[in-house]
Amino acid sequence: MSVLVLIEHDNTEVKASTLNTVTAATQLGSDVHGLVVGNDCANVASAAAKISGISKILSVDSSEYKYGLVENVAPVVKDIASGYSHVLAPASTFGKNLLPRVAAMLDVQQVSDIIEIVSEDTFIRPIYAGNALARVRSTDSVKLITVRTTTFDAAIEDSGSSAPVEELSAMGDEQLSSFVKHDLTRSERPELTTANIVISGGRGMQSGENFIMLERIADKLGAAVGASRAAVDAGYVPNDYQVGQTGKVVAPDLYLAVGISGAIQHLAGMKDSKVIVAINKDEEAPIFQVADIGWVADLFTAIPELESALD
């Protein structure tokens, strides 16, 4: 049987989360197809066809899919899913939004956010903010799965060859919702979930302006900037900076937590990082229990010191 991967994209490029999802798919079967649903997305289809491990791309290109409205996209996935043993999507907001809607249409109990594939029907997934790991077996005939991208390597983006692209016909606008606007955070820095180094600030930063101190270090290290929920709630930085159980999950080579106490919900999003550094003035802060390197210091002296020491 073949495995279907839902390709995450913005009609222009394939998102990095797709590459990790393809790797998970190749662990389940050798015939991996990708589904591109979008508008004016021929470039995406041809880029996806080059991903190592993909043997075919199915593409549906029509205006009702321009903004990826789930009410319109879900029927397309549902229509072809029954021909596959597994349907995989990244556990990004794209996959989380779409796949359960498809699962219900197919009467399937989705398995969310897997971190390991044990066999074709058995998976490991974190529960309780990663404080426990559940080994679960799905009994559904088609298995719908979202994949935690940080625990699967990225597939090679350009394998040097191109899988065939097959066009499918569009299914029309369900007229249930419409797109109004995007307010996307623009940044020249690497994406949070794929960056090799992440520097995150918490409530201890005290203001949005003070995050500039972290940005300067990020630019020296080629790092992404993240934040705790408290920093986002306080309006210091936008929502898409949030790392944690209910934000983004990151696992960079180096994670620097600055003025973050280390609540379980925050740890859930970063404790699989290779090396964790904590800078906090409270030596009792729980973040030090998971940090490989701890520096008990006032961040307002430590961060400028770190910046000049990096020169």
Partner 1 sequence: MKVIVPVKRVIDANIKVRVRMDGSGVELNNVKMSMNPFCEIAVEESIRFKEAGKADEIIVVAAGPQQSQETLRNGLAMGADRGILIQTDIDLEPLAIAKLLTAVVEREQPGIVLMGKQAVDNDNNQTGQMLSAMLNWSLGTFVSKIEIEDDSFNVVREVDGGLETVRLSRPSVITVDLRLNEPRYASLPNIMKARRKEIEVLTPDDLGIDVTPRVTVLEVTEPPARNAGVRVQSAEELIDKLKNEAKVL
Ligand X SMILES: Cc1cc2nc3c(=O)[nH]c(=O)nc-3n(C[C@H](O)[C@H](O)[C@H](O)COP(=O)(O)OP(=O)(O)OC[C@H]3O[C@@H](n4cnc5c(N)ncnc54)[C@H](O)[C@@H]3O)c2cc1C
Work out which of 56, 66, 96, 203 binds ligand X, going by CB under 6 A.
203
Min dist CB 263 to partner 1, Å, is: 9
If DSSP codes are grouped into helix, strand and coil, which group holds residue 156?
coil
Work out which of 214, 225, 231, 251 binds ligand X, going by CB under 6 A.
231
* Radius of gyration for the alpha carbons in the chain, expressed in angstroms and rounded: 21
Residue list 51-90, contact with partner 1 (CB under 8 A) = 67, 69-71, 74
The site string for partner 1 over 7-26 (x = CB under 8 A, - otherwise) reads --------------------
Report which of 247, 254, 265, 239 is spatially closest to residue 199, judged by C-alpha positions: 254
Q: What angle do CA 175, 46, 94 make, to 5 degrees?
A: 45
User: Which lies closer to ligand X via its Cβ, residue 3 or residue 306?
Assistant: 306
Residue list 235-294, contact with ligand X (CB under 6 A) = 242-247, 259-261, 263, 265-266, 269, 280-282, 285
Q: Residue 101 corresponds to which amino acid?
A: R
Q: Is 153 exposed, middle or buried (0-12, 13-18, 19+ CB in 10 A)?
A: exposed
User: Which lies closer to partner 1 via its Cβ, residue 169 or residue 178?
Assistant: 178
Q: Which does 181 bind (CB under 5 to 8 A by kind): ligand X, partner 1, none?
A: partner 1
User: How many residues make contact with ligand X (CB under 6 A)?
Assistant: 27
Q: Which does 122 bind (CB under 5 to 8 A by kind): partner 1, ligand X, none?
A: partner 1
Cα–Cα distance, 168 to 76 (Å, whole number): 9
Q: Which does 288 bind (CB under 5 to 8 A by kind): ligand X, partner 1, none?
A: partner 1
Work out which of 76, 230, 256, 276 binds ligand X, going by CB under 6 A.
230
Q: Tokens in use for 251?
A: 């696992």
User: Which lies closer to partner 1 via its Cβ, residue 182 or residue 188?
Assistant: 182
User: Which lies closer to partner 1 via its Cβ, residue 37 or residue 163?
Assistant: 37
Cα–Cα distance, 285 to 278 (Å, whole number): 9
User: Which residues lie closer than 8 Å to 311 by C-beta, 6 or more apart?
Assistant: 220
Q: DSSP class of residue 259? A: S
Ramachandran assignment for 88, one of left (phi > 0), alpha (psi -120 to 50 degrees), beta (any other) = beta
Q: Does 119 bind partner 1 (CB under 8 A)?
A: no
Q: Does 156 bind partner 1 (CB under 8 A)?
A: no
Q: Which does 238 bind (CB under 5 to 8 A by kind): ligand X, partner 1, none?
A: partner 1
The site string for partner 1 over 230-269 (x = CB under 8 A, - otherwise) reads --xx----xxx----xx-x----xx---------xx----
Cα–Cα distance, 86 to 145 (Å, whole number): 7
Q: Which does 197 bind (CB under 5 to 8 A by kind): ligand X, partner 1, none?
A: partner 1
Cα–Cα distance, 302 to 222 (Å, whole number): 19
| Choices 81-89, 98-106, 155-163, 198-206 (CB under 8 A): range interacting with partner 1 | 98-106
If DSSP codes are grouped into helix, strand and coil, which group holds residue 253?
coil
Q: Is 124 exposed, middle or buried (0-12, 13-18, 19+ CB in 10 A)?
A: middle
